[in-house]
Amino acid sequence: MIDVKIPAVGESVTEVTISQWIKGHGEYVELDEIFVELETDKATQEFPAEAAGTLKILVEEGETVEIGAVIAQIDTSANASTPIVTPVVETPSSVEPKATGEKADQIITPVGESISEVTIGTWLKQDGDFVNMDEEICEIESDKATFEFPATSSGILRIKEEEGNTVSIGAIIASIDVMEGGTPIETSTTSSSESTTSESTDGYAAGHPSPAAAKILAEKGIDATGIKGTGKDGRITKEDALAAQKPAPAAKPAAAAPSPAAPVFAGISRETTRKKLSPMRKTVARRLVAVKNETAMLTTFNEVDMKPIMDLRKKYKESFKEKYEVNLGFMSFFIKASTMALQEWPAVNAFIDGNEMVTNDFCDVSIAVSAPKGLVVPVIRNAESMSFNQIESEVVRLAKKARDNKLSMEEMQGGTFTITNGGIFGSMLSTPIINAPQSAILGMHNIVERPVAINGQVEIRPIMYLALSYDHRIIDGRESVSFLVRIKQLLEDPARLMLGI
């Protein structure tokens, strides 16, 4: 029997979450076969079997474990046709833990630079539940990411802040009546069938979702109440959440006349639906309003003839993809042009800090991405030093993580300049809002064939309108217009991008 231990997966990573068991308990795995996915705050990794044999799973999906922890065992004496037999373990009846009289305050700790408050997203445990030390009890959301909050002690949870409340760093959101010794879990069993029944109906975790299941249910808009968990002690697992369906709405009784709550005009229903703003949406709204009120924001426009870039892409896109295994998109051209212009006009790459102007000699370009929970802005670090294929690979990686809600806090902090592309949705022109504390944002738009004058002749060319919104407190009109003209020059003559001139 070989213990399967969590290996070191990266510098500074001390724990991982069991994301998905690809092979099930009792299944046969081959040497080097992928059987589980591990998730850290930075990436999701596949884990291969170090030997062939029958798999015995020890840790459920959604559980967080430390580096070096044993998550499974492989019975190397078994072959592909040998079923695994789970022994029935006689365990003593549960012993009630004893209260110590102590209370452990659950305090919001700092979660990132410049973040002064967070929002209570979802309570994963209920008021009065028994929680174990380091067990996730709630999710907290900032304007950039969602974090799981672990219990600092074992005992009875006393919730003080409701879901949706915004609290400051250092605030007390709950307390725990500290208990020690014993366990509140009913584990007395006499047979495997009785054990399954006890675990699924009598355990303290019955009806409570695991962190992974809670996220899935929240995204589906399904209440965990009424869902029968198949996990340990009746806990709702990821599979239970994936299989859960919204209950069909109750049929409305026939009425002789429309009710005030559901007015009907000319035979057409005029019902309205109210939905509470998500914490992220509220935070984004507050920050956008603050930017409008606290900056001297101005927008300047220009247009770019995209034919040279489109011709270049058409000529080399197949060979580019064949060599680098990534598509040659428009974004790499705009990022490359922006970094060259930023180095020539450093005020556009600066920001105000109190009474000081801070200028950066590097270009960390933020790219706006539409994600399921709202707009997020991951950062491409040192974009000025990257090649076209490196930029394209990083754009694809960050966009995929954003859409999968897997971006880490580090990946969304510290940008110096932002690019947003409303053109993918069909936008012709816009005035994008600055991504504070940055001082400028470049807006891309759709490409439309328009008649333009070329050497005294009217030609039809693919034209894109560009918009640069900037903080007029530190960026003057000359700098902003020259910056945008430089981008236009580089994009209309892409050979300049390759030569750096």
Q: Which of 468, 469, 473, 451 is nearest to 460 (CA)?
A: 451
Q: How far apart are the first and last CA of the chain?
A: 64
Question: Which residues, at least 6 apart from 476, have a Cβ–Cβ distance to it below 8 Å?
Answer: 347
Over residues 275-296, the pLDDT tens digits come to: 877 666 777 778 788 888 888 9
Annotated active-site residue 208? The verdict is no
pTM of the model: 0.53
Q: Using CA atoms, how far apart are residues 21 and 58, in angstroms rounded to an integer?
A: 11
Domains 2-75 and 293-499 share a fold: no
Query: Where does 98-243 sit in CATH, by number?
Result: 2.40.50.100
Q: Which two tokens stand for residue 287?
A: 């920050």
- Beta-strand runs (E) in 152-284: 155-159, 166-168, 172-180, 264-265, 268-269
Over residues 5-46, the pLDDT tens digits come to: 888 766 556 777 887 888 888 888 888 888 888 876 555 677
Candidate list 3, 223, 472, 493, residue with the active-site label: 472
CATH topology for 293-499?
Chloramphenicol Acetyltransferase (3.30.559)
pLDDT at 149: 86
pLDDT at 196 over 70: no
Is the bond into 437 cis (omega within 30 degrees of 0)?
yes
pLDDT at 456 over 80: yes
Q: What are phi and psi of 124, to 5 degrees?
A: -80, -20
pLDDT at 476 over 60: yes
Over residues 253-281, the pLDDT tens digits come to: 544 444 455 566 777 878 888 887 766 67
Domain 2-75 matching CATH 2.40.50.1040: the answer reads no
| Angstrom distances, CA of residue 254 to CA of 140, 175, 258 | 43, 49, 9
pLDDT at 343: 94
pLDDT at 40: 67
pLDDT at 387 over 90: yes
Over residues 217-263, the pLDDT tens digits come to: 777 778 777 777 776 557 677 677 777 776 665 554 544 444 455 56
List the chain domain ranges. 2-75, 98-243, 293-499
Q: What are phi and psi of 223, to 5 degrees?
A: -80, 135
Annotated active-site residue 472? The verdict is yes
| Angstrom distances, CA of residue 169 to CA of 4, 16, 162, 388, 430 | 38, 25, 16, 40, 36
pLDDT at 145: 67
CA 415 and chain centroid, separation: 17
Residue position matching structure tokens 């930075």: 42
Candidate list 3, 32, 127, 476, residue with the active-site label: 476
Question: Strand, coil or helix: what is 237?
Answer: coil
